[in-house]
Structure 1
Amino acid sequence: MQPLSRLTLDYAPAEPRLKLSQNLTEFPLEILDLADSLEILDLSNNCLSSLPQEFSQLKKLRVAFFNNNQFEEFPEVLAACPNLSMISFKGNKLKSISEDALSPNIRWLILTNNQLTTLPSSIGKLSQLQKCMLAGNQLQSLPDELANCKKLELIRLAANQLQTLPAWLFNLPRLTWLAYAGNPCCQPTASPIDTSLAAIDPAELQLAEVLGQGASGIIYKGFWQTDASSVQDVAVKLFKGEITSDGSPLDEMQACMAAGKHPNLMNMLGKPSRPIEGKAALVFSFITSDYSNLGEPPSLETCTRDTYKEDTSFTLPVILKIAQGIAAVVAHLHSRGIIHGDLYAHNILVNSQGKAILGDFGAASFYDPSEQTTAKALESFEARAYGCLLEDLLERHISENEENEIKIFQCLRQLQQCCMSTVSSERPSFSRINQVLAEAATLV
C-alpha cells in the first residue's frame, strides 16, 4: 500500500477534498487520518469493490465519488456517515441496494450506468432527495415509496426497462426535470424528420478547435466545403456513444432531428453519412462569438439550480426577450411531442440584446400530445423549469428607473410564481405563458 504522503500531495485542510485514481483495489485506511477535516472524497477510476466498516469514521464527509469502479453492491457503511449528502456510483456493476444502505440525508444520488433491476423501498425515506440519476440500468418499475420524496426536483430514468411512468410521479410537488427516453413507455416520435436535412459526406467536413463538450459528446468548430468556392462555418457534435447521466446519445440524436427548425433553436444542417473518427455526429449552424452561455451548471451546493457569474445582471427588456424566446421554442417542441427535460440557463446561448437559443437535447423524451392528461402533466414539469429560469433572471434584474418597469416586473414575477406552483395542474400552459408575455411586451 502506498504511504499516505504519496497519495495526498495536494491535500490541505483549508481545501478539504481528496482525489485518488491509482488502480486501488482496497480502500487505503490511511485516509481515515483525515477524518477530522475531509469533506469531499473522489475515488473514481479505480478497481474498488467494497468499503471497510471503518469508513464510517469519516464523520465530516459530505460528498463521495466512486465512479468507474467494480462495486456490485451499494456499501451499507455509507449510511453511517452522518453528513454524507451526495453519493455517486456511476459506471460500476451495481446489482443491488439493500434496505439499510441509503442515508436519509442524501440530496443527490447518482447510480447511472449500472445493472440495477430494482430499488429498495427505503428510498422513500430520503426526505432530502432532490436529484436522482438512474439512467442506464435495468429497472422495470419504480417503488411506490419514492412518491414520499417530496423534495425531488430532477430524476433521470432514461435507458431502462420501464413499461409505464407511475401516476404518482406526476404529483410530486417539485419535480421539474425528467428524462425517460429509451424505455418501452417512451413512444417513438410522431414528428416527421426534417427532409431538408442533408446527408453530409464527412470528406466535406474539416474539424477545427473544440467549442465545448458535455456528457454526451464534444462540439467542434468545423468547415463544410460543398465545392471549391463554397465553405460554410459549422458546429460539429461528435457523440461519445456511452450512456450519460441523461441517457443514450442515440436518443438525443433522434430528438435533435425531430425538433425541426425554430428561430430560438440551434439549427441542425445535417447528419454525416458515415461516422467521423468512429463516432456518430450531427452538423449544426455555427453560433457566432457574440453569444455566450446564459448560466453555468449547478454546483455541489446548489444541487439542482444553475449558478451564475458574480457580476451577471440583466435589464428588464433583455429578461423579457429571453423569456419570450424560450417560451416560444418550448411551445414549438411540445407541439412536436418533445419535452426538453433539461430546460436550464446553462443550455441556453444568449446575446446582449436577449436573443436566446436553446440547445442540448440529451434529456429530451417523446410523448403523444393527443393524450391530454399525460401531455399536460409532462408539460407542467417544463413550466416549473421555466419558472426557475425566470426566477433566476428576475433575481439578477437591474433597474433602469423606467415608469412602466414596475408593472412589467410584477407581471413577470407573478408568472414565475404561477409556473412554480406546487400543484402541477395549476401551472400555466405554454400557450398561456406566451400570451402573458405578449401582454407584458406591450408595456415596454
Structure 2
Amino acid sequence: MHTLEQLRSGALAGTRRLDLSCDLTELPEEVFALADTLEVLNLSGNRLRNLPHQLPRLHKLLVLFASDNAFTVLPEVLGDCPTLQMIGFKANRIADVPAAALPPALRWLTLTDNAIRQLPKELGQRPALQKLLLAGNQLTALPGSLQAVQSLELLRISANRLEQVPDWLADMPSLAWLSLAGNAMGWALSHETALPEVPWTSLTLGTLLGEGASGHIHQVEAPGWPQPMALKLFKGAMTSDGLPGDEMAASLAAGKHATLTTPVARLSKHPGQAQGLLMPLIPPDHVNLAGPPSLQTCTRDVYPPGFSLTAPMAMQIARDVACAVAHLHQRGVMHGDLYAHNILIDPMHGQAQLGDFGAATRLPMAQAEWHPSLFALEVRAFGCLLEELADAANARVDQPSLQPLQALARSCMAEQPRQRPSMRELAQTLQTLQP
C-alpha cells in the first residue's frame, strides 16, 4: 500500500500501479502526474463518493478498483476512459449504473454487494466483456442484450431477486462459470444432508492453510475423529460468488465422493456465531494445480513458469475431475467454479480432488429436464481444463500423443452448448483412454 506522502513527494514517479487507502474523500491531484505510466489504480477502502471529470487524463489506465467506498452511482466518467478494461466497485452503495459509465473496452466488471435493481441494455454492447460479477444486488432480471456478448465467460448472479433463469443463458457460446444460488426462483430444493455437529470449544485451531473469497481454512485438532481435520470458517459476508449459506448447502448436497472435498461435520457454538464445516485434512504433499486468474488472464488460471505434467498424470487428473463433476451433476449441483486453482493434486501420481463450492448452485431435482442445458455450460469449463492439461503434458518433448485429450477438449467447447457431451459421457470416455 502506498502513502500520500510518497505520492506528493514524487517518490512514485513512473509507477504502473498505485494503491491508496487513506480515508480519501477525493482523488488527489498528484495522481495525474503519473498519467504516462499508471495502468492500475486501486482506491479501495476509502470514503469516495465520486471521481473527477479529469480521470481520462490517465490515458494508460487499464484497471480501476474502488471497492468499500461510498459510491451510490457508478461514475459516468469511467465511460470516457478509452483504455479502461477492468472495473471493481464491490461493497459500495451503488443503486444506479448509467450506460455512460461503461467504457468501450470493458472486459471485467465487478459490482458485487451493492443495491442495483436494473442494468442498462448498453451492457450488451460491450463486445470484449468476459467477466461479470453481480452477486448480492437486487436484480429481478438481466438485460436481454447480454445474449449478444459472445465473449462472456464468467457470470455471477447469486443472491439477487431473479425469478427465473433467462432462456438465452444456456445458449451463450463462451459461458463456462455461472453462479445462480440465492435467488427468488421458487425452486423446491431437497433438504440438506444431516451432519454431526462439533462444538467450537472442542476444537484446537492450528495452522492457517489458506483463504478464499468466503472463508479461512485452518488445520484443527478434533478429538474423536479418526483422521486429521481441516475447518473452513466462513467470513459470514457476501463474497464475489454469493452467500456462505448457499455454499454450505451445496457442499452438503454434493455428498461424499473420492475425488471431492466435502464436509463430514458442521461447526456449532462459535462465540461469534460464525458458521463452519469440518473436512478431512488433505495430505500436506498435495498442491493446487494452478493459481487463480490474474488481471492479465482474466478468466484463465495461472500456472507456474515451466509447469509440465507427464501424460499419465494429465490423464489421471482429467479422469478424477470428470468423475467428481459427473457425480455433482447427477445430484443436481453445478459447481460454478470448475478451475484448476480449485483442484488439489498429488504431485507424484496425479490423483486429484475438486473443492470449493463457493459458486455452486443446487438445481431443483423436480425440474431435471432443463438441467442438461445448464450443465453444458460447465462442460465448457472442463474443456478449458483439458486444454490446459494437454498443454502442460505437451511441454515435455518425449510425451506420447495426447490427441484424444485434445479432441475431447474440442468437443467440450463446441460453440453450440447443446452439442457438447455430458460429464457422465466424458467420465466414461476418459476411463477408456490411454496416454
TM range (shorter): over 0.9
Distance change in 2, residues 1:80/1:277 (3 Å): same
Residue pair 2:128, 2:151 contacting (<8 A) in 1 also: yes
Alpha-carbon distance between aligned partners in 2 of 1:263 and 1:277, rounded to the nearest angstrom: 33
Residue pair 1:343, 1:385 contacting (<8 A) in 2 also: yes
Matched, 1:388 2:389: no
Q: Secondary structure at 2:223's aligned position in 1?
A: strand
Deviations 1:60-84 (A, max 9, x none): 1000000000000111111111110
Q: Secondary structure at 2:264's aligned position in 1?
A: strand
> Structure 1: any 5+ residue segments left out of the alignment?
none
Alpha-carbon distance between aligned partners in 2 of 1:115 and 1:354, rounded to the nearest angstrom: 44
Distance change in 2, residues 1:9/1:271 (3 Å): farther
Alpha-carbon distance between aligned partners in 1 of 2:197 and 2:11, rounded to the nearest angstrom: 49
Which residue of 2 is the match for residue 193 of structure 1? 192
Q: Secondary structure at 1:222's aligned position in 2?
A: strand
Report the residue type matching 1:215 in the other structure: A
Report the residue type matching 1:348 in the other structure: I
Which residue of 2 is the match for residue 238 of structure 1? 233
Distance change in 2, residues 1:56/1:90 (3 Å): same
Report the residue type matching 2:168 in the other structure: W
Distance change in 2, residues 1:267/1:279 (3 Å): same
Report the residue type matching 1:415 in the other structure: L
Report the residue type matching 2:430 in the other structure: L
Deviations 1:278-311 (A, max 9, x none): 3111111011111000010000000000000012
Residue pair 1:186, 1:366 contacting (<8 A) in 2 also: no
Which residue of 2 is the match for residue 57 of structure 1? 57
Distance change in 2, residues 1:247/1:6 (3 Å): same
Matched, 1:359 2:355: yes
The offset of 1:371, in angstroms, is 3.2
Matched, 1:299 2:297: no
* RMSD, aligned CA: 1.8
Distance change in 2, residues 1:7/1:340 (3 Å): farther
User: 1:139-288 to 2 correspondence within 5 Å?
Assistant: 139-185=139-185, 187=187, 189-190=189-190, 193-195=192-194, 197-226=195-224, 232-275=227-270, 277-288=272-283
Residue pair 1:325, 1:356 contacting (<8 A) in 2 also: yes
Residue pair 1:239, 1:279 contacting (<8 A) in 2 also: yes
Moved more, 380-389 or 364-373: 364-373
Residue pair 2:208, 2:217 contacting (<8 A) in 1 also: yes
If the length of structure 2 is used for normalisation, what is the TM-score?
0.95
Q: Which of 323, 333, 342 in structure 2 is aligned with 1:328? A: 323
The offset of 1:414, in angstroms, is 0.4
Distance change in 2, residues 1:59/1:377 (3 Å): same
User: 1:332-347 to 2 correspondence within 5 Å?
Assistant: 332-347=327-342
Residue pair 1:77, 1:101 contacting (<8 A) in 2 also: yes
Residue pair 1:157, 1:179 contacting (<8 A) in 2 also: yes
Alpha-carbon distance between aligned partners in 2 of 1:276 and 1:234, rounded to the nearest angstrom: 20
Q: Secondary structure at 1:413's aligned position in 2?
A: helix
The offset of 1:274, in angstroms, is 2.1
Residue pair 1:225, 1:232 contacting (<8 A) in 2 also: no
Deviations 1:15-72 (A, max 9, x none): 4110100101111122111111111000000000001111121111000000000000
Deviations 1:72-107 (A, max 9, x none): 011111111111000000000001011221112100
Q: Secondary structure at 2:54's aligned position in 1?
A: helix
Q: Which of 406, 419, 437 in structure 1 is aligned with 2:412? A: 419
Residue pair 1:25, 1:47 contacting (<8 A) in 2 also: yes
Which residue of 2 is the match for residue 108 of structure 1? 108
Question: Number of aligned pairs?
Answer: 431
Deviations 1:135-166 (A, max 9, x none): 00000001111111110000000000000111
Alpha-carbon distance between aligned partners in 1 of 2:307 and 2:42, rounded to the nearest angstrom: 31
Identity %: 42
The offset of 1:357, in angstroms, is 0.6
If the length of structure 1 is used for normalisation, what is the TM-score?
0.93
Alpha-carbon distance between aligned partners in 2 of 1:129 and 1:322, rounded to the nearest angstrom: 30
The offset of 1:349, in angstroms, is 0.3
The offset of 1:327, in angstroms, is 0.5
Alpha-carbon distance between aligned partners in 2 of 1:157 and 1:44, rounded to the nearest angstrom: 22
Residue pair 1:337, 1:368 contacting (<8 A) in 2 also: yes
Residue pair 1:11, 1:17 contacting (<8 A) in 2 also: no
Q: Secondary structure at 1:37's aligned position in 2?
A: coil
Alpha-carbon distance between aligned partners in 2 of 1:401 and 1:111, rounded to the nearest angstrom: 47
Distance change in 2, residues 1:220/1:376 (3 Å): same
Residue pair 2:48, 2:69 contacting (<8 A) in 1 also: yes
Report the residue type matching 1:410 in the other structure: Q
Report the residue type matching 1:308 in the other structure: Y
Distance change in 2, residues 1:331/1:396 (3 Å): same
Residue pair 2:16, 2:40 contacting (<8 A) in 1 also: yes
